[in-house]
Amino acid sequence: MTSTIHINLGERSYNVHVGAGLLAQAGEFIAPFAPSKRVFVVTDKTVAKHHAPALEAGIAAGGLELVKLIKLKPGEESKSYDGLQEVLSKLLTAGINRRDLVIAFGGGVIGDLAGFAAGVVKRGVDFVQIPTTLLSQVDSSVGGKTAIDTPEGKNLVGLIHQPRLVLADADVLKTLSKRERRAGYAEIVKIGLINDAPFFTWCEKNAAALLNADPAAVQHAVTSAITFKARVVEQDEREEKDIRALLNLGHTFAHALEAHAGYNGDLLHGEAVAAGMAIAFQLSASLGMCAEADARRVRAHLDACGFVTDLRKLPGAPYNVDKLMALMAADKKAEAGKITFILARAPGRAFVERDAPIDVVREMLQQETA
């Protein structure tokens, strides 16, 4: 079964296709967006090893020419100034022009990096997202956010460059480790915690099946998460109305944790998000905004899924509170010296909070890391 979710952004509108066997049809789907019939694929060595032959065959079947297959080192370290320079240099050396198409073929790192490169090379060429991880299928491949990490923090240099198409092939998820599937699950359960309490209940009942790659559970979860994000992006493409900001539940803490850990692969983005969501609910409870029982319920579910929500045991520990606070203050969502948090009144009732007492945040982090 294949689902199609349309994202209505006027002239920047596009479809997200979710289902099995989409790599074999990639050329057919992509051809309308490649007027030159020439495509450039940016991927990493791990994805290329498992899936490049299938994509190459799909591209050829659609009558397209694969000009260059750019294979990067896997991991967050590639999402950097050096990684961007490498991609741009290889695209330019291979003779890319503005009628060509870039294909981002990989997880969130590749999607963010390749999308950014496509957005700036020759002052912008079109690109297509073919996400290969659960996390990138349900989150980073949709919405047009592209960026690289810098020493100052995560995703601080980038642009919004919408893809022309997203192909989320369920078959590529079969090569993921359970840890990688779990990391993707963080962005799925996040949807329920933001504004869909019944979906959070569904997650509590079906997380085990989803983490074990049950096809029906995966299809329902991926389609539900993308549909939710599509509606949010339609209303607030550039995150100017606080609507899209809600998608950052857990991310203010998560990005600080990732930067603190050093982007060396020890801490996956989804693992940081899960810990960040647990902290966000605990902060909400500490501020009297949600019940302690709700914070415990959220943490218990994340713990039951195998996430580490205890910062003392989280990869990258020990975490320094002063450094975490400084990293959060440098976050791109911070305004006028104040840190923006996404907090909640209950599962499914998240809201934007720009005036949380910093002393309470610091005290809570000290308790979490002590």
Bridge partners (DSSP) listed for residue 106 = 131
251 catalytic? Reply is yes
269 catalytic? Reply is yes
CA proximity to 300, closest of 211, 189, 188:
189
255 catalytic? Reply is yes
37 catalytic? Reply is no
Q: Of 123, 205, 240, 313, which residue is the catalytic one? A: 123
Q: Of 180, 237, 239, 353, which residue is the catalytic one? A: 239
145 catalytic? Reply is yes
68 catalytic? Reply is no
Q: Of 154, 190, 220, 251, which residue is the catalytic one? A: 251
260 catalytic? Reply is no
On whether the CB atoms of residues 365 and 356 are closer than 8 A, the answer is: no
Q: Of 269, 299, 301, 333, which residue is the catalytic one? A: 269
Which helix H or strand E contains 13, and what residues bound it?
Answer: none
Q: Of 220, 229, 299, 333, which residue is the catalytic one? A: 229
Q: Of 187, 237, 353, 368, which residue is the catalytic one? A: 187
Q: Of 51, 79, 90, 145, which residue is the catalytic one? A: 145
Q: Of 161, 164, 181, 244, which residue is the catalytic one? A: 244
6 catalytic? Reply is no
Q: How many Å apart are CA 132 and CA 168, to the nearest integer?
A: 7
On whether the CB atoms of residues 19 and 1 are closer than 8 A, the answer is: yes
Q: Of 248, 299, 301, 368, which residue is the catalytic one? A: 248
Q: In terms of C-beta density within 10 A (0-12 exposed, 13-18 middle, 19 or more buried), how is residue 352 classed?
A: middle
244 catalytic? Reply is yes
Pairing assessment for the beta strands 38-44 and 14-19 based on DSSP bridges: unpaired
Q: Of 90, 154, 255, 301, which residue is the catalytic one? A: 255
Q: How many residues are given for the chain?
A: 370
229 catalytic? Reply is yes
The alpha helices in the chain, defined as continuous H runs, are 26-30, 45-61, 81-93, 108-120, 134-135, 178-195, 197-211, 215-235, 251-261, 269-286, 292-304, 321-329, 358-369
Q: How many Å apart are CA 211 and CA 190, to the nearest integer?
A: 15
Tokens for 260, please give them: 């603190």
Tokens for 206, please give them: 């079906």
Catalytic residues: 123, 145, 187, 229, 239, 244, 248, 251, 255, 269
